[in-house]
Amino acid sequence: MTRKGKRITVIAGGAMFLTAAASLTVYALGQRASYFFMPTELQAAQLDPGQRIRLGGLVETGTIKHGASTDVFFSVTDNERSVPVSFHGILPDLFREGQGVITEGTLGADGVFVADSVLAKHDETYMPKEVADGLKAKGVWKAE
């Protein structure tokens, strides 16, 4: 094999390695992605069974109900549609009615969103960017 042939072989091998590494990275990140939906968008979404998503909006007034132990039931709304949420765990201290929230989990066959984590705003002026953008687009939330 000539010197030029060896060089081409090394370059081709390196390119194949980098392509394989990039492909595996993209595949792994695609498996961990959780998509963000507002309640109205969730109705039209075509979700695979068990697909993890993020549901964001405002905690609907009058819907927080505490069940046995740490079970909590509430609804997330964008003032057009509401989605009932079931959560087993400890809620953030600032979780309350009318506040911005993002929940992560899966949508059940009965239409109830089963959340495994709940993220609430952390001070009086913050709202998660995804939720704020979605609510601003609907004309529901306005920054003070």
70 and 20 in a single domain? The answer is no
| Model confidence, pTM | 0.64
72 and 128 in a single domain? The answer is yes
19 and 39 in a single domain? The answer is no
Q: How many residues does the chain have?
A: 144
27 and 39 in a single domain? The answer is no
Residue 99 confidence (pLDDT): 85
Residue 140 confidence (pLDDT): 66
How deeply is 33 buried, as exposed, middle or buried, from its count of CB atoms within 10 A (0-12, 13-18, 19+)? Answer: exposed
Query: Is 35 labelled as part of a ligand binding site?
Result: no
Query: Is 122 labelled as part of a ligand binding site?
Result: yes
Rounded CA-CA distance 130/27 in Å is 24
Is 47 inside a domain boundary?
A: yes
Is 60 inside a domain boundary?
A: yes
Residue 125 confidence (pLDDT): 56
3 and 28 in a single domain? The answer is yes
Residue 50 confidence (pLDDT): 79
Rounded CA-CA distance 74/117 in Å is 13
Residue 128 confidence (pLDDT): 66
Going by C-alpha positions, the residue among 43, 38, 45 that lies closest to residue 141 is 38
117 and 86 in a single domain? The answer is yes
Is 24 inside a domain boundary?
A: yes
Residue 92 sits in a domain whose CATH number is: 2.40.50.140
Residue 134 confidence (pLDDT): 77
Domain span including residue 95: 35-137
Residue 129 confidence (pLDDT): 73
**105: number of CA atoms within 13 Å, CB side?**
21
Cα-Cα-Cα-Cα dihedral sign, residues 27, 117, 64, 96:
negative
- Based on the structure, what is the number of domains in the chain? 2
* Segments in the chain below pLDDT 50: none
